[in-house]
Structure formats: structure tokens, C-alpha cells
Structure 1
Amino acid sequence: MTRIDLHSHSSVSDGSDTPAEVIGHAVAAGLDVLALTDHDTVGGVREAAEHLPKGFTLVPGMELSCAYRGSSVHLVSYLFDPEHPALVRELRRIRSDRASRAGEMVDKLQALGVAVTWERVLEIAGAGRDEYADANTIGRPHIARAIVEAGAARDVQDAFDRWIGSGGPAFASRYALDPVRAVELVRAAGGVCSLAHPGRAEGALNDAVPLELVERMAAAGLGGIEADHPAHNREETGYWRGVAADLGVVVTGSSDDHGSLTNRRLGCRTTDPAAFEELVAPATGAALILG
């Protein structure tokens, strides 16, 4: 049976491995299809495509940053036109604000006595990949790794819990799209999308994504719900599978792998091949990349 993982990250955003390394790990994990979904960028797709073995399929995508009532909501988006003007404008604004936010958090950390430098955060975010410097997305995991290096946290999760998580002393907010607007934007760019880890909305809600919002996203063209996610327990998975059925959208399953930061869990959750075919059928913005 074809094994499909529709959510993964590389060092172009907040994963530890280069896009080429991600493909290698995906093959080693027995996957046949992988979506590379770095945060707010497709900057790693070209490199990943250059390292596909014969018979392997790459799904170009990204995880689009959204916000609702003070909480983060994420949309894994696939097969859209990366040159669509409205989408390009929003992505530039999101990435620019990510950088501004990161600088603000570094300033706060320094004021709190944590020896983190902006230069080191940039080094961690770039991961030595100059050819993608403009596409790389600076995120909190990069700052968290710098905090750990500075000796102010045990590990990345501790850095979030102690310093830069929502409500933490060095936390700063940033620009993100309204989730319904984001669905409309991806669909206008010829893409399709699935609501990422709906049981985990970080921020003011600090709980699941509200059902009324998911209903409005579905009405706007949402194609799937990532019910099968390693952060969901059995009850949450069952609940979101039921929501997907009620709304007439597909269930997607994904690892949300970030390389060594998540113990390289590619393939720990997968998407049914029939659900994948249904999800991508309406896409017109880009094509699957075949090895």
C-alpha cells in the first residue's frame, strides 16, 4: 500500500535537516509520497525535487500561518501556484513580520539576561544554506535552539515553556492570515489545503480550533482535516475524524516531522491513498513532482 505523509519541515523553516536530507529520511522510513510543507515558504521544494529516487512523489506545499482570536491556526497547503500575486504578497508580509518578531524576542531575552544574539539566530535559521537565504523562514524554534545553546533551557520545549511560548516573558505576537481568508487565497491560487493539528491551537484559545471556524473554512473550500497527527490522542483523533465526515472533507494523516527536533518521526502518521487522491483532485496551481 502506498504510504503518504502530508506534513514535514526542513531547515528552510524550522526543521533540522536540509530538504535533500528530508527526502533521504522519508525513503528510509518507507514512504512513497511526501509533502514538504515549510512554514510560509516553498523555498526547499527545488532542492528536494533534485533528490527524488525513482518512483517517489513529492507534493509541493507549505504550512500557512493563520490566526484567530489570539491563537495560531495552521493550514497545510498543497499544489498552489507559488507565483500567484495575492499569495506572494501575503507570504512576503508574513515572512517579514516573522523576522521582526524574532528580533523583538531576541531583544526581550537579552533584557532578561539570556545571552542570545541575533547573529546566532540567523546562523541557526540559515543552516549554512546561502542559496535559500531569501526563502528561509525565521521561527521560534531557531530562537529556542539559541536559548538552549546559551544555557538558559534544557531543550527546545523547555525554551518554549520558560521563555518564548504564548504568555512567556519573551513572547511577541506577529502578523498572520485569517483562516477563512487563507483558505480562499490558497484556492484562488489553484491549491488545496487541510487544517493542521486542529486539536492544538496555541495562544488565547489554548485548546482545539473552534468548530464554528472549521465550518466556515469548509464552506470556503477547505479540503481536509489533519485528524491523524502525533499530538492528538485517540479521543481527539476520533473527534476530528467525525468532524471531517460531517463536513464532507477528507481525513489527512501526517507526521509533522521537524527532523531531530521531533526524533525524525516521518511516516508515524499517514494519509489513506484514496483520501489523498480526493484531496488533490481539484488542484490546478502546480503538479506533483515524480522521481
Structure 2
Amino acid sequence: MPGPIDLHAHSSVSDGTETPAELVAAGVAAGLGVLAITDHDSTAGWDQAFIAADGTGLEIVPGIELSTQLDYASVHILGYLVDPTDAALVEATAAIRSERLHRAEAMVERIAADYALDWEDVLAQTTPGATVGRPHIADALVARGHVPDRSAAFATILHWRGGYYRPHEAPPPLEGVRLIAGAGGVPVIAHPGARGPERVLSDARMRALVDAGLFGLELDHRDNPASGRAHWAEVARRFGLVTTGSSDYHGAGKPNRLAENTTDPEVYAAIVARGTGARPFRTP
């Protein structure tokens, strides 16, 4: 497979700053061989990405990043090669997007009591059909001049200790894994060494996830500290899981750069062999 394999990237369909076509162009410019489009709780960017990739030689992996919640901790699960028409997955992701929207509205209402900000400011930072969430509130705060960038917004006003935070409801990880596997997809826990998953994913819970179809852990990721990588590498070994590496690219929305972490070709081949809901897209 020519070029690096990056299995986690976002477009403006969720909280990236580039359209699916621009995301593909960035992947080509970065010299990638394979790029997964994994927007939060949405597959709406797939077709645009396929059209943009036609003739470039870049292989596009259709995917999703499913939001799940456990003990008030957010656990995101990457789902590769899911069937986008699967009824259970469509219903679940629609419900999650609706909850994200109501949560964002409630947070903006709280923030507006202390800062000049309204819902129209947030909508101005989105594209039609986008999964609205905290990153768009962050962009609105930047546009209003309250913070210099997204990172500053998340470190202050949007931090869970900031006083404006509101948790959102999402299915538990076990249901998330079952949804992805049931849609013919390949479930991989995103950045398990980050604060949320690290805190709640005990060995007993991991065993249940593996039994439900969990296939891997996203090990090489900037949000996994060195100690976390060592721990989760051992977990992967004990439970027979593959390990991936990805950038979690968001365009200008995060400092993450394409191909800063990548996946081994043999692991990618195993993911492709496992998935039955969709196939990677590639033309010469």
C-alpha cells in the first residue's frame, strides 16, 4: 500500500474545519496512501469524499466516530466500514446528534449570561447538516473575540470546571460496539489513554466489549501519554486486539497533523478483511 495510513480524520460534517473534499485534498498533499473519514456520529461526508478522491490514488476508508458515555466519561468508538443504511445505526446516530444539538443550545444559553454570544453565532460556524457541538461553540467564542483559539476555549469557558458545561447523553460503549458490529463495521476504541476511557474501562468491561466484537485500540495518538500507551498495548496483547495509529485531524480545529501517527499496513488489511458493511474507495 503506497503512502502512510491515517485512520482518524474529521471534516466539516462534524467538527473539522475542512469540507470532505478539502480533507481529501489535504490527505493527497500529505502524501497519504489511505485516509479514513470518521466524522462524529455521521456518515454524511462519505460521498463527497469519494468524489474528491476519484483519480487521486488516495484510498478512502468510510467510517464514523460514535459517541458513547460511561460513568459520565466520554468514550469514542471508531467504526470502520459500517453500512450507512443500517437501521439501528441510523436511529442511534440521529438520536446522538439531536442530543448534541440540545446540549449545545443549553450551553450557549448559560454562556450568554456572561459573554456576548447567541445561537446564531454558533450556527454561523457550521455547515448545513453538520453535527453541532462544543467545537462550534468554541469557534463562535473565537469569532466574538472572547478567546484566541479553540484550544483556549476548551481550556477555559468550555472546560467542565468552567461552570457552563453540560453533559450529554449517549449510549454506553457496549451498545456502541454492538451497533458498529451489527452494521458490518469494525469497532476500535479511539484514544483509550485519554482521561475519559482510561478512567472507566476496567478489565471486566474490556472483556465485555471484546466479546461484543471490539476489534482494536487506537494506540498511537497524541492524546495517549507514554504511560497510557504502554498500559493499553498490554491490554491489547491480553485481549487479542489490533492497535492502530491515527492523527485525529480536524484541519485548523486542532494542532493534530495528518500522518503524525499511522497504522501498520498489516493491521489495515485485517480491518478491511473484517468489515462487511462497506468497502474502501480507491481509483487509480
Instruction: Give the TM-score range, shorter chain.
Output: over 0.9
**1:260 Cα deviation (Å)?**
1.1
Question: In the TM superposition, what whole-angstrom CA distance separates every residue of 1:108-165 from its partner, at most 9, and x where no partner exists?
Answer: 0011x21111112112021xxxxxx23x100101101111222322321221122222
Query: How far apart, in 1, do the equivalents of 2:98 and 2:240 lie?
Result: 36
Count of equivalent residues: 281
Q: Give 1:231's aligned residue.
A: 223
Q: Secondary structure of the equivalent of 1:226?
A: strand
**1:43 Cα deviation (Å)?**
1.1
Question: Is 2:81 the counterpart of 1:79?
Answer: yes
Q: Which amino acid aligns with 2:105?
A: G
Q: Which amino acid aligns with 1:30?
A: G
Structural RMSD (CA)? 1.6
Question: Is 2:244 the counterpart of 1:287?
Answer: no
Q: Give 2:38's aligned residue.
A: 37
**1:201 Cα deviation (Å)?**
3.6
Per the normalisation by structure 2, the TM-score is 0.94
Q: Give 1:183's aligned residue.
A: 177
8 Å Cα contact 1:200-1:208 kept in structure 2: no
Q: Which amino acid aligns with 1:21?
A: E
Query: How far apart, in 1, do the equivalents of 2:215 and 2:172 lie?
Result: 17
8 Å Cα contact 2:13-2:45 kept in structure 1: yes
**1:264 Cα deviation (Å)?**
5.4
Q: Give 2:186's aligned residue.
A: 192
Query: How far apart, in 1, do the equivalents of 2:104 and 2:18 lie?
Result: 21
Q: Secondary structure of the equivalent of 2:140?
A: helix
Q: Which amino acid aligns with 1:117?
A: D
8 Å Cα contact 2:192-2:198 kept in structure 1: no
Query: How far apart, in 1, do the equivalents of 2:147 and 2:208 lie?
Result: 40
Per the normalisation by structure 1, the TM-score is 0.92
Gaps of 5+ in 2: none
Gaps of 5+ in 1: 127-132
**1:2 Cα deviation (Å)?**
4.1
**1:93 Cα deviation (Å)?**
0.5
Q: Give 1:59's aligned residue.
A: 61
Q: Give 1:156's aligned residue.
A: 150
Q: Secondary structure of the equivalent of 2:63?
A: strand
Q: Secondary structure of the equivalent of 1:125?
A: coil
Q: Which amino acid aligns with 1:151?
A: G
Matched residues, percent identical? 41
- Against the structure 1 CA distance between its residues 156 and 209, is the aligned structure 2 distance closer, same or farther, given a 3 Å change threshold? farther
Query: How far apart, in 1, do the equivalents of 2:195 and 2:227 lie?
Result: 16
**Residue range with higher mean Cα deviation, 210-219 or 13-22:** 210-219
Question: In the TM superposition, what whole-angstrom CA distance separates every residue of 1:186-235 from its partner, at most 9, and x where no partner exists?
Answer: 11111111100001144xx7847444322321121101100110122333
8 Å Cα contact 1:201-1:208 kept in structure 2: no
Query: How far apart, in 1, do the equivalents of 2:234 and 2:210 lie?
Result: 14
Question: Is 2:260 the counterpart of 1:268?
Answer: yes
Query: How far apart, in 1, do the equivalents of 2:99 and 2:5 lie?
Result: 32
8 Å Cα contact 1:10-1:16 kept in structure 2: yes
**Residue range with higher mean Cα deviation, 171-180 or 208-217:** 208-217
**Residue range with higher mean Cα deviation, 99-108 or 157-166:** 157-166
Q: Secondary structure of the equivalent of 1:251?
A: strand
**Residue range with higher mean Cα deviation, 184-193 or 279-288:** 279-288
Query: How far apart, in 2, do the equivalents of 1:142 and 1:249 lie?
Result: 34
Query: How far apart, in 2, do the equivalents of 1:148 and 1:40 lie?
Result: 25
8 Å Cα contact 1:199-1:208 kept in structure 2: no
Query: How far apart, in 2, do the equivalents of 1:106 and 1:30 lie?
Result: 39
Q: Give 1:28's aligned residue.
A: 29
Question: In the TM superposition, what whole-angstrom CA distance separates every residue of 1:38-95 from its partner, at most 9, and x where no partner exists?
Answer: 1000111111111114422100011000000001000011111111111111111001
